[in-house]
Amino acid sequence: MTEHALEGVKVLDLTHHIAGPYCTKLLADFGSDVVKIERPGGDPARRIAPFLNDEVDPDKSLLFAYLNTNKQSVTLNLKSKKGIQVLKTLVKDSDVLVENFAPRVMQSLGLDFDTLQKINPKLVMTSISNFGQTGPYRDYKAADIVEYAMGGLMYIFGAYDREPLKHAFNQAQFKAGTDAASATLMAAYHQRLTGEGQHVDVSIQEAVATGLRDVVNNFTYSGAVRRRQPNHSGDLSRIRASADGHILPNPGLGAGFDWNTMVDFLELPELDDDKFNTPSARLVNAEELGRILDDYFIKQNKYERFYASHEKRFIFGVVQSPEEVMADPQFAARNYFVDIDHPVLGTLKYPGAPFEMSGTPWEGSAAPTLGQHNQEVIGQRLGYTSEQLVQMRAQEII
């Protein structure tokens, strides 16, 4: 059996919703032993749609199922003394603890880093929060769209004559989860070298701001402020409607771009005109150029144009529906989407490995049902008897 990259790394997962669970999912999918600690009612993400067959059930949330593959679920009431005692016992034998509570919560529970490090000096504790563990905003609440706005990324998204936009879903949360996983592994590597633990502080606002790159550099070096770009009809890289969807006819406007080659490829002799053969001319005559291109692409099959364009080394793309993504031959050739069998959901397709490793491959197994591993972790690992577990359940400790 092939050993996994993170084989033997023991992780306590005190996370919920999206950013934290995605961090620990990345660790679990590459072999970490991840024990997910859930409140007796479960991670709130278990109640986030969509649900399989639209049946609201804590074990049928598709979001939760994706974010918690390869983990074990233990229910534990951290507002009880016994629950805290059990958690501290688990900390003794763990390499990493990941949490994404509001900054004051862990300290209020007596689970701050200084306290936990006295129990386990080599512990790496990763904290993910909206604005980080310090600063004037540390206790502010936020949603994904707030992080986009406060991180500065939203300022450059959308058309210049409209309000700013953001990407769909929870991209700031996923970016923070990715950053947290990377940072955790760096701290774990340092731990292996020195035997020393440390506290990793991840701010979702800062995770967003790291995506600004040239925007910040332009302002820092020259005082220039990048704004949202115009989306005029003659923009060659504008998304165009096709006969069967939408296509992104980006010819690649680098130093090697030749307008005549583009005209020949499209077989549109009316574009072979002084009105269009330079960038300045195309901008002046943008509306006419846009009408010609719109009339052309609305009659085209998007995939025929896509494949033909790449034979000419143009940078065309197609807007793919979920059904088309699942049927994409590139994904199929790399076996990206995988089948995972879940005890409640059945067998479903999941996104697979975010990257490939030749010697220590990714592996996917189902997210746990609520409290599925109480007996295995609290009972067998910590030595609690069945009678004690029954009593703890009656007292709502687990």
Mean of pLDDT values over 41-61: 96
Q: What are 198's strand-pairing partners?
A: 124
Give domain status of residue 26, yes or no: yes
Q: Are 32 and 114 members of one domain? A: yes
Q: Are 138 and 40 members of one domain? A: yes
Closest CA to 153 of 220, 195, 205: 205
Q: Are 194 and 119 members of one domain? A: yes
Residue 230 burial (CB count, 10 A): 11
Q: Are 96 and 244 members of one domain? A: no
Q: Domain holding 265: CATH number?
A: 3.30.1540
Task: State how far the Cα of 137 lies from the Cα of 8, in Å rounded to an integer.
Answer: 37
Task: State how far the Cα of 314 lies from the Cα of 306, in Å rounded to an integer.
Answer: 9
Q: Are 153 and 256 members of one domain? A: no
Amino acid 318: pLDDT? 97
Reported as a single tens digit per residue, the pLDDT across 162-214 is 899 998 999 999 999 999 999 999 999 999 999 999 999 999 999 999 988 77
Average pLDDT, the chain: 94
Reported as a single tens digit per residue, the pLDDT across 56-115 is 999 999 999 999 999 999 999 999 999 999 999 999 999 999 999 999 999 999 999 999
What's this model's pTM, rounded to 2 decimal places?
A: 0.93
Give domain status of residue 328, yes or no: no
Give domain status of residue 151, yes or no: yes
Amino acid 137: pLDDT? 98
Helix (H) or strand (E) holding 68: none
Task: State how far the Cα of 18 lies from the Cα of 31, in Å rounded to an integer.
Answer: 20
Task: State how far the Cα of 50 lies from the Cα of 61, in Å rounded to an integer.
Answer: 6
Domain range for residue 289? 240-318
State how many domains the chain has. Answer: 2
Please say whether the beta carbons of 242 and 297 come within 8 A.
Answer: yes
Q: Are 84 and 127 members of one domain? A: yes
Percent of the chain with pLDDT over 90: 83
Give domain status of residue 221, yes or no: no
Mean of pLDDT values over 309-316: 91
Strand ranges (E), the chain? 10-14, 33-38, 71-75, 96-99, 124-129, 198-203, 240-242, 245-250, 315-318, 338-342, 346-350
Mean of pLDDT values over 362-379: 96
Amino acid 1: pLDDT? 55
* pLDDT score of 220 more than 80: no
Q: In the numeric block, which tokens belong to residue 93?
A: 């034998």
Beta-carbon contacts of residue 95 (< 8 Å; ≥ 6 apart) = 9, 10, 11, 122, 123, 124, 188, 191
